[in-house]
Structure 1
Amino acid sequence: MAYLEKISFTKYKINVTDGCLVRTPALRNQFVDDLPQIVWADNTPWREANLWALSQREKGVDPKTILSSLTHLHAYAKWLEAEDIRWWHFPARESERCLTQYRGYLICVRDKGELAPSTTTQRMGATIRFYRWLEASKLLSTDWPMWAEKQVGIKLLDQFGFARTIVVNSTNLSIPNRKAPTDKLEDGLTPLSRDSSHRIINFASQNASYELYLMLKLGFGTGMRVGTICDLRMATIHRAIPDPQFLGFYRIAVGPGAYPAVHTKFGVTGQIWISESNLNILKEYIFSTRRLIRQSKARSEDRDAIFLTRDGKLFGEGDGNASRGISVQLSRLKKRGIVNGIPDFHYFKFHQTRCTFATELARSILAHGTVSMAVQIVKQALLHKSEKTTLTYIRFVEKSAAMSKMADEFTREFLGIAGAENQNA
C-alpha cells in the first residue's frame, strides 16, 4: 500500500557539458527539509505528486499546508491501488473516470459515518487542486475533460456588516461540506461542564504524565490550542506581564510576531491571558529536575521549549502536528478514565478544553456586560481572525441559558399539571 514519508531534498542544476550530464547544487535555497513524498506500494515514487509538493514549497506555501494536502493525496493514492485504477484514467464514459469514482467513494464513506463531512470536502478539494496543477503544468493531457467547470458566488460580510459577493471557480466534482444544524463550536466540538472539566483535570493529575496534565490545565485555563501549548518557550513565560485590568492574570505573547515566536493557527499574533497560579506552576516546571533531564537530551535549538518528550524532542516532531505527539498519551488516559467509571472521557478531545474556556469566559462576561463587550473580549482571548467565529460562542451561551430557563419553566408547569392530575385521580 502507498505510504507517505518525509525527505531532505537538495536542489541541483542540470547542465550538459561535453556531452555529459553534470549536476551542480543550486546556489540559492538549495536545501529543503521535511519535504513530504508519496511512494507507491512497489516502492516507486509518485513523481508528479512529489513535484507538486516541491512546487508548493518553492512558492512559499506553509509546510503544514503542504503536508495536509499530501496527506489527502496519499489517501487518494491508497484508494487507487485498492481499486487498481490509474490516476490518469479518463475514458469517454464519465462514470468510469478515476476522479468521478473517487468522489462517489468519498460520499459513500461519509454517509456511513466513517469520514467527517469536512474531511470529505478537504480530501476531494486537495485532489482537484493537484489535477489543476497537472493540467496547468502540461503534465497531463486527456482526450476527455476531467470535470465540468462552474462558477460559485460566495457572500462575505466585512467588519462593518456590509455584504459583498466574490465569484470563484469550482467543479462538478467538489463535495459541499453540508452539516446538519447543531450546537457544536470550533472543529465541531461541544464544551464540557465545569464539573466535567474538574474531573478530567483531577484524574489527569494522578494518572497522566505531568506534561499532559499541565497541557490540559493550560487548555482549560487559557483556551490555547494544543499546537500553541506545545510550542511555548521559556522566554515566553519569563516575559509575561501583569494584566492591568484583570487582577491575578498575566499576558504572554504568542504568534509569529512575538519574541520568541510561538506557533498559532493562521499565524495570528496576540496575547493570551494566563492566571498567576498557572504561570507559577510553569515556572516551577521549567527548572524541575524532570524537565532539565529532557532538556539535556534536546538539540540546542529546542532547549528553550517548555514541553519536550522523554527523548528531548519537540512534541509533534517528525509529523508536523503537535496533537499527534500527545495523542497516544491522551488515548491511554481516556481508557483509564473510562475503566474508572468517568463518563466524561468517552468522547473527550483536547480541543474541548478551548471550547470550554471560551464558553465559560463568554458566560461570565454576559452576566456583567453587553454582547458587544463579550465578543471583543472572547475574540481577543482566543486570537480569532473573524468575529464570526467568536459569535458562535456568544450565541451558544445565550441559547444554552434560554434553553435552561425554558426547561426549568416547562418542568415546573408540567410537574404542576401532573401533580394536579394525580390528586384528582
Structure 2
Amino acid sequence: MARLESIRFMPHRSAILNSRVVWTPVTRGKVIDALPQIFWGNGMPWREANLWALERAASAEVDIRTVQTSATSLYAYAKWLEETETEWWDFPPRKADRCLVRYRGALIEARANGELAPSTASQRMRVVVSFYRWLKARGLLSSTLPTWQERIVGIRLVDPIGFERTIAVNTTDLSIPNRAAVGERLEDGLLPITAADRDAVLAFARDNASEELFLMLTLGFFTGMRLGSLTDLKVRTLSNAAPDPSIAGLFRLAVGPGADPPVATKFGVTGQIWITRTHLDRLEEYVHSVRRLEREAKAMPQHRDLVFLSRFGNPYAQRGSDKSVAMNVEMHAFKKLAVANGLAAMRGFRFHQSRSTFATELARIAIRAGGAVNAIAMVKEALLHKHEATSLKYIRFVEKAPAKEDVANAFTREFLGLLSRRESTADD
C-alpha cells in the first residue's frame, strides 16, 4: 500500500568530479522541514506528485501546512489507484473508464456511505484536479488527453455595504459540490459531548489509556487547547504560568508566536490559556516524573523542552500541525476498547470534540453568570478565536439547547400518550 512520509529537504547541486556524479549542498539553499513525499507500495516514489509538493513548498506563496494538506488528499488518491490497480495516466476514450471519473465516483460513494465528510470528498477531488492541471502546465501529461470538461460559473458576492458583484470561476465537470449541512455547526463541524460523558471518558482514560493521552484529554476538555498546541506545549510554558489577577487558583499559559517560549496556535494567534492550579500541579508532576524524563533523554536537543514526547523521544506532531500519527494510533485503540466496555460516547469520537465540549460548558456558565454579550467575549478570549462569529456559534448552540430539550420532552409525552391510548383501545 502507498505511504506518506515527511522528509527534511536540503537542496543539492550535481557536479562531475573524476568521472563521477557528486552532489553538494547548495549554499544558502532553502531547507524545507516536513516536506511530504508519497511512495507506492513497491517502495518507488511517486516522482510527479513529490515534485509538485517540492515546487509548491519552495515557493514563498504557499505555506508548508497547505502543501501537507494537499499531499494528504493526493495520498488518498494514490491508495485508491493501487487498490483498484489503476494507472494515474489512464484516460481511455470511454468516459466512465477514465481514472479521474472513476475516482470521483468512489468519493461520492464514500460520502454517501458516511465514510467521508462532504467537505473532505470535495477537497480531495479539488486537490487531484489541481495536481493534474500542474502536470499539464509542466508538460508531464499531454494536454490532448480527455481529462475533463472546463466550464465557467459565476459566484455572486455581497459586501458588508450591500454592493453585489459576480466573480467568474473556472471549474470542471469533475467537481463535487459541497452543500452546507443543515443544523448547528461548531468549529470543524464537530459537536460536543455531555459533561457526564466527558467525566466518564476521562475516568476510563485514567485507568486504561497512557498517561500522555489522559493528560492531553484533560487539557482538551478543561482548557480547550487544540492538538497542535498541546503537542507543542513547552515545559517552560508551565514554569512561566502567571496567576490570574482576578480569580484565585486560576493561572494563564502564554501561547502563540509572541509567547516565550512560542507555542503553535491556529492562525498564529497569541494569547493566554486558562488553567487551574490543580491541573497545573498535575502537569508539573508529570513533567518531572521518571516516565517523562526517560523520554526526554531519548529526544533530540530541540525537542527536550516539549511536555509530551512519544516513548521514542519524538514529538507527537510536526510543529503547528493538528495531525498526529502517534496520537491517531493510540486514540483508535482507546476508542475501540472504550466502546467494547459500553462507553457509547467514544463511538466516532474525535479529539477536537474535547475543545467543543469545553467551549460549550464555558458558554453555558458564562451565560448564566453574565448574559450572552459577556459570554461571547469570554469564550473568544478563552479559546483564542480569531473572529467573534466563531464564539457566537457556541452561544447560540447553548441558548437553543433548552428549547430543543422542551421540544424533545413534549414529543416524547405525545408519543407515549398516543402509544398508551392505542394499547388501551386494543385491549378493549
Assess same fold via TM > 0.5: yes
What's 1:151 paired with? 153
What's 2:51 paired with? 51
Report deviation, 1:191. 1.1
Write the distance in 1 (CA, Å) between the matches of 2:156 and 2:262.
34
Q: Structure 1 residues 400, 12: CA separation in 2 closer, same or farther (over 3 Å shift)? A: same
Write the distance in 2 (CA, Å) between the matches of 1:31 and 1:199.
46
Cα contact 2:264–2:320 (8 A) shared by 1: no
Q: How does 1:6-25 map to 2 (within 5 A)?
A: 6-14=6-14, 24-25=24-25
Q: How does 1:26-175 map to 2 (within 5 A)?
A: 26-29=26-29, 31-60=31-60, 61-90=62-91, 94-143=95-144, 146-147=147-148, 148-153=150-155, 155=157, 167=167, 168-175=169-176
* Letter of the structure 1 residue corresponding to residue 9 of structure 2: F
- Show CA shifts across 1:355-411 (max 9, x none): 111111111122233333222221222122233322221221111122223445666
- Show CA shifts across 1:25-80 (max 9, x none): 32222544442222334443322211111011111433333222112112222333
Q: Structure 1 residues 50, 415: CA separation in 2 closer, same or farther (over 3 Å shift)? A: closer
Q: Structure 1 residues 173, 282: CA separation in 2 closer, same or farther (over 3 Å shift)? A: same
* Letter of the structure 1 residue corresponding to residue 329 of structure 2: V
Report deviation, 1:301. 0.9
Q: How does 1:236-385 map to 2 (within 5 A)?
A: 236-316=237-317, 322-385=323-386
Q: How does 1:404-415 map to 2 (within 5 A)?
A: 404-408=405-409
Cα contact 1:251–1:272 (8 A) shared by 2: yes
3-state SS of 2:264 partner: coil
TM (norm. structure 2) is: 0.86
Write the distance in 2 (CA, Å) between the matches of 1:380 and 1:164.
34
Write the distance in 2 (CA, Å) between the matches of 1:157 and 1:245.
41
* Letter of the structure 1 residue corresponding to residue 204 of structure 2: F
Cα contact 2:264–2:319 (8 A) shared by 1: no
Cα contact 1:152–1:169 (8 A) shared by 2: no
Cα contact 2:228–2:319 (8 A) shared by 1: no
Report deviation, 1:296. 1.7
- Show CA shifts across 1:189-227 (max 9, x none): 221111111111122222222222111111111111122
% identical equivalent positions:
47
- Show CA shifts across 1:123-164 (max 9, x none): 111112212222333433322564313234264776xx8787
Report deviation, 1:240. 1.7
Write the distance in 1 (CA, Å) between the matches of 2:9 and 2:328.
29
Cα contact 1:297–1:312 (8 A) shared by 2: yes
- Show CA shifts across 1:286-318 (max 9, x none): 222222222222111111111112222211369
Cα contact 1:90–1:142 (8 A) shared by 2: no
What's 1:176 paired with? 177
Report deviation, 1:319. 12
Q: Could you list the runs of 5+ residues in structure 2 that have no partner in the other structure?
A: none
RMSD between aligned alpha carbons?
A: 3.5
Report deviation, 1:351. 1.5
What's 2:215 paired with? 214
3-state SS of 2:251 partner: strand
Q: Structure 1 residues 408, 38: CA separation in 2 closer, same or farther (over 3 Å shift)? A: closer
Cα contact 2:265–2:320 (8 A) shared by 1: no
3-state SS of 2:339 partner: helix
Pairs aligned (count)? 423
- Show CA shifts across 1:248-288 (max 9, x none): 32221212232212122233222211122212222222222
Write the distance in 2 (CA, Å) between the matches of 1:246 and 1:162.
44
Q: Structure 1 residues 17, 165: CA separation in 2 closer, same or farther (over 3 Å shift)? A: farther
* Letter of the structure 2 residue corresponding to residue 300 of structure 1: P
Q: Does 1:187 align with 2:188?
A: yes
TM (norm. structure 1) is: 0.86
Q: Structure 1 residues 234, 315: CA separation in 2 closer, same or farther (over 3 Å shift)? A: same
Write the distance in 1 (CA, Å) between the matches of 2:296 and 2:13.
40
3-state SS of 1:139 partner: coil
Write the distance in 2 (CA, Å) between the matches of 1:268 and 1:119.
25
Q: Select between 283-292 and 413-422 the one with higher mean Cα deviation.
A: 413-422
Report deviation, 1:320. 6.1
Write the distance in 1 (CA, Å) between the matches of 2:420 and 2:143.
75
* Letter of the structure 2 residue corresponding to residue 308 of structure 1: L
Cα contact 2:232–2:319 (8 A) shared by 1: no
* Letter of the structure 1 residue corresponding to residue 116 of structure 2: L
What's 2:2 paired with? 2
